């Protein structure tokens, strides 16, 4: 596990049950329950804590604005929420 990250036993059990191969190299970790679980988890993995969550979210928004045409292309249209 990434140093400082706490494994979530119920989620790890589900991961192990449904995706045993993935569970050998990955772990389900606790994050704050504030609706930012993806960014909190990435912040924990990259920086060891959730303090960079807002920065990562902002960078994701900037990425989508700068490359809007790419994300709106027909190949990825199903991923875009209108």
**Residue 2 in this model has a pLDDT that exceeds 70:** no
Question: Distance (Å, rounded) from C-alpha 1 to C-alpha 8?
Answer: 11
If one counts every other C-beta atom within 10 angstroms of the C-beta of residue 77, the result is 10
Question: Distance (Å, rounded) from C-alpha 17 to C-alpha 12?
Answer: 8
The pTM of the whole model exceeds 0.85: no
Helix (H, G, I), strand (E, B) or coil at 2: coil
Task: Single out the residue of 66, 41, 63, 61 nearest to residue 52, CA to CA.
Answer: 41
Residue 78's pLDDT band (cuts 50, 70, 90): low
**Residue 1 in this model has a pLDDT that exceeds 60:** no
**Residue 29 in this model has a pLDDT that exceeds 70:** yes
Structure tokens, 51: 């303090």
Mean pLDDT for all residues in the chain: 86
**Residue 6 in this model has a pLDDT that exceeds 90:** no
């Amino acid at each position: 596990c990434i140093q400082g990250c706490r494994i979530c036993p119920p989620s790890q059990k589900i991961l192990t049950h449904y995706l045993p191969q993935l569970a050998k190299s990955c772990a389900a970790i606790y994050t704050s329950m504030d609706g930012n679980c993806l960014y909190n988890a990435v912040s924990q993995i990259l920086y060891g804590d959730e303090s960079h969550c807002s920065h990562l979210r902002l960078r994701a928004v900037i990425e989508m604005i700068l490359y809007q045409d790419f994300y709106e292309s027909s190949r990825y249209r199903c991923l875009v929420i209108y």
